[in-house]
Amino acid sequence: MQQADIAIAIVGVLILAWAGDQLTGRRGLFAASLVSATGAVCGWFLAVRVFGAASMDEIGWTAWSGAGSVLGLVTFYLFRNTR
């Protein structure tokens, strides 16, 4: 079921990026998707490799990747330089 977990995480990251883009009123979906995906990879790395809180056999790492994605998007929109 690892493939299903990965697909769930990818879809979740794209939904979070789209929601963040819509909530801020910006139209930079590529940038939001890139930041969201980077945050998700960081969340996965923390859960699986650093803390050992989850393994790839469980679905718990998807929550960690979603949290990393949200944290990345919040910091991206908070500290983004607006002209």
Q: What is the pLDDT of residues 8-40, one digit of tens each?
A: 999 999 999 999 999 988 778 999 999 999 999
In 3D space, the residue among 71, 74, 69 whose CA is nearest the CA of residue 34 turns out to be 69
Is the pLDDT at 3 greater than 80? The verdict is yes
Q: Which amino acid is at 81?
A: N
> Which pLDDT value is given to residue 66?
94
Q: Could you give the number of structural domains in the chain?
A: 1
| Owning domain of residue 57 | 2-79
Q: What is the mean pLDDT of the chain?
A: 89
Q: Which residues contact 33 (CB under 8 A, 6 or more apart)?
A: 13, 14, 17
Checking if the pLDDT of 73 tops 90, the result is yes
Q: Coil, strand, or helix at residue 60?
A: helix
Closest CA to 8 of 50, 58, 49: 58
> Is residue 72 a contact partner of residue 33, using CB atoms and an 8 Å limit?
no
- Please tell me the pTM assigned to this model: 0.86
